[in-house]
Structure 1
């Protein structure tokens, strides 16, 4: 059985070798991690808009209006949605009871997700090392040890990516995952009684329901913990009881059919193919962690981080070889253990000189990663106040479509818009004709997308355009000046030459 110190064990006298030099290094790591934490807290205040924020805001909008029958979050259709998770349901309840705006609620969600993530990492790392600098180094490695090419994707913990996705369910689910691995590790070491395991199973199911891809990562990490622990035969029935409890919750969840998602992968392959591109540029610094895993494997072939990495790499490689590119979302199951191993090697290598040498290499790698993601500062510091070389790395967030609401669009109105505005408009309450994101439970998604394309096509006749508006109950159109038509009245102009038109009777 793996015997690393648990998070409840005191730090031994040899856990922080090196006297004053070690204390300086530990304090520096903790200070750097604290500064990064402050940066992320300031980002929450700004809540920069990019990616899927509109989808999650729309989900909260629907739940605050109807907790039992929210319907499709993006289009006016009565369909289930995998976005109606236990976490989003709780946020919907908060929005409904408090009357707070959706974006204030999402800021609260971001704070909760950050708190879960930080405490989860700290607790899990303490099951692997009792060194007091280990948690801070682990947090820095998870955020900065990536590559020289900027990469943003939900469920991936790069600093810039986290800044843009901090309010997403994926961050909340990752935080729960670290707590899940901690709890499972301690339960296996203590050979806990029957009462613990159903709770673990429910937590595992909650992660899967809140963010399915992160749930896969959590499952692979949990499997690695079990394989590393070599549980006694008497523990196996308890593990089975936990698994049954989790599967039961997945089966009973009323808002969508979790198991139907297994047949939906074909609709997601194209958008996930980029996960297999430019791996060296995006993740090259993680090779330091791979080397650290090799050293850990020499010391203990059943090391949980090594097994976790191998499982994650296997799933990721299988996805690339088979064309199931959505399996690429399991990549954090390879990245997280490698990043943690890189941090832990700086405090656990055998000789003092080796530890110091490794710490210097890690520091250099973290500096490169920090420079790659320096544009994150632009989310809390005005771009004009940034040095020119840093300002060049900053990416301006999306502007949003609040202006159409000020012009008279109301909750539940249907808006004809192309894909990019369709990713934002539902966040404020209206629907769009076609969803801005893939929707595996919307049977006519393809027809809706084709209808939008035909409406904005210059070759489509007047009668067909008006029929499309009638069929989908469209009251507003968002487009450029080229969208002007006799059956539309211009109401307001927005950023980027966008125009809001009211559909005339």
Structure 2
């Protein structure tokens, strides 16, 4: 029977075995410390890839208007799910301090990394009192993946974390581990838990959902596993209701977007998330070691919280693949996290010393394979030229950015005509684009805007129609290939940029 320990005095289901060497306990701590140091150095560089431009644009809008920020990417007064409590805090920091958005995002990265590290430590301590368990768990979360590199926000591989460390998803994951630890303690204390703890848990749950909706699903599945594993009695059920009601109220009352509207607005997200269902063995094959560990835990306890958590995650992920709701694939961390944690914990909690030693050796090899796969992360600190050739080949070049258009005279709030890739970066500096670079569930005319951009850059579109599109959307600048300017086009070259791109000014 699972009886979770309190937050103040975590008690392992199995105490540390005698005879373990001090070196064996210290090695995971040293390795985890080195990895965290590497991530802090990555924060200094803050490599740009993926959604960084979206989050920077969100902070930009909030620093200029906390009450009515409008759409982060296009000049429209629509709500946005990116206006979360955490981004509101960052917008206030940028507004009050005057710091640049990218400095604020670096501060966000440090805060998120700290929250994640302490959250993992607290939650793992509810599962094991072994000194090395939290450090081993952190290493497993970062390296126990697969031989093929995989990056996605909300997934905790080292390379993925290096690219997303300033994202709200990392902050939300940090909150999630603290949430599970706190909930575990509350369920263990049962009636003895302070009354205020339950509403606070509900508000924390709502904050996670508002900060990053997909991580909120993972947090919810993990919370369900904690509750089921604790075998709540009748005295606990009303307290769970006392947590759920304020959480739902917070979601309902959040002023920046309608949270519950997201349940019917995900059709545009399915195609984007379909790749989550491909190359599973190559991307996550090492996690099978954790699945074996979960099997061993299940033999010892049919209601083990990690086993239940894994089962819930697999069910949601499989349901998404079978029904074509590929966005449900973002629940995959709900299967990966418990398996990774189980693999780490088995190395310190398996019965006999010889078994633990053998498991630790297998885990060490798996972590080494995962670390080698993600060795290119070092390039974000020292640069690819400083790496050996075999390691440099694993390096993924980050995006260059569009600072160059700002130096040429583009200002905050200007509308820029650009294709999808530059449209994912330009709003980070303050301008808008005609069409959003990312799916926007609240922008009703997103399809019309995307069609307008396609027509503008189509070689068969007439000069007159192009000028009409520029007037319709109030475009002041165009980022595109060479040769767009000419007699009657209404464009004048302002400057050139990387990759043959050109910035044009729209003239009467």
TM-score (norm 1): 0.98
Equivalent residue, structure 1, for 2:256: 255
Per the alignment, do residues 64 and 10 of structure 1 end up closer, same or farther by CA in structure 2, a change over 3 Å counting? closer
Q: What is the DSSP-based 3-state SS (H/G/I as helix, E as strand, rest coil) of the residue aligned with 2:236? A: helix
Equivalent residue, structure 1, for 2:500: 497
Task: Give the CA deviation at 1:17.
Answer: 2.7
Q: Does 1:69 align with 2:72?
A: no
CA contact (8 A) 1:5 1:130 kept: no
Distance 1:462 1:293 in 2: 64
Equivalent residue, structure 1, for 2:85: 86
Q: What is the DSSP-based 3-state SS (H/G/I as helix, E as strand, rest coil) of the residue aligned with 1:477? A: strand
Q: What is the DSSP-based 3-state SS (H/G/I as helix, E as strand, rest coil) of the residue aligned with 1:369? A: helix
Task: Give the CA deviation at 1:319.
Answer: 0.1
Q: What is the DSSP-based 3-state SS (H/G/I as helix, E as strand, rest coil) of the residue aligned with 2:503? A: strand
Equivalent residue, structure 2, for 1:416: 417
Distance 2:278 2:173 in 1: 24
CA contact (8 A) 2:5 2:184 kept: no
Distance 2:426 2:337 in 1: 34
The one-character-per-residue Cα deviations of 1:103-159 (angstroms, maximum 9, x if unpaired) are: 000000000000000000000000000000000000000000000000000000000
For structure 1, list consecutive stretches of 5 or more residues without a partner in the other structure. Answer: none
Task: Give the CA deviation at 1:194.
Answer: 2.4
Equivalent residue, structure 1, for 2:215: 214
Per the alignment, do residues 171 and 10 of structure 1 end up closer, same or farther by CA in structure 2, a change over 3 Å counting? closer
Task: Give the CA deviation at 1:7.
Answer: 5.0
Equivalent residue, structure 2, for 1:184: 183
The one-character-per-residue Cα deviations of 1:359-381 (angstroms, maximum 9, x if unpaired) are: 00000000000000000000001
Q: What is the DSSP-based 3-state SS (H/G/I as helix, E as strand, rest coil) of the residue aligned with 2:416? A: strand
TM-score (norm 2): 0.98
Task: Give the CA deviation at 1:18.
Answer: 4.8
Q: What is the DSSP-based 3-state SS (H/G/I as helix, E as strand, rest coil) of the residue aligned with 1:491? A: strand
Distance 2:326 2:135 in 1: 33
Per the alignment, do residues 321 and 157 of structure 1 end up closer, same or farther by CA in structure 2, a change over 3 Å counting? same
Q: What is the DSSP-based 3-state SS (H/G/I as helix, E as strand, rest coil) of the residue aligned with 1:489? A: strand
Task: Give the CA deviation at 1:483.
Answer: 2.6
Distance 2:492 2:9 in 1: 70
Task: Give the CA deviation at 1:5.
Answer: 4.5
Task: Give the CA deviation at 1:456.
Answer: 0.1
Task: Give the CA deviation at 1:433.
Answer: 0.2
CA contact (8 A) 2:270 2:324 kept: yes
CA contact (8 A) 1:57 1:427 kept: yes
Equivalent residue, structure 2, for 1:239: 240
CA contact (8 A) 1:11 1:132 kept: no
Moved over 2 A (4+): 3-12, 14-19, 482-486
Q: What is the DSSP-based 3-state SS (H/G/I as helix, E as strand, rest coil) of the residue aligned with 2:479? A: strand
Work out the number of aligned pairs and report it. Answer: 504
Equivalent residue, structure 2, for 1:477: 478
Equivalent residue, structure 2, for 1:16: 16
Equivalent residue, structure 2, for 1:456: 457
Distance 1:498 1:336 in 2: 42
Q: How does 1:348-367 map to 2 (within 5 A)?
A: 348-367=349-368
Distance 1:40 1:483 in 2: 42
Per the alignment, do residues 246 and 356 of structure 1 end up closer, same or farther by CA in structure 2, a change over 3 Å counting? same
Distance 1:32 1:484 in 2: 56
Q: How does 1:116-195 map to 2 (within 5 A)?
A: 116-191=115-190, 192-195=193-196
Distance 1:157 1:3 in 2: 28
Equivalent residue, structure 2, for 1:323: 324
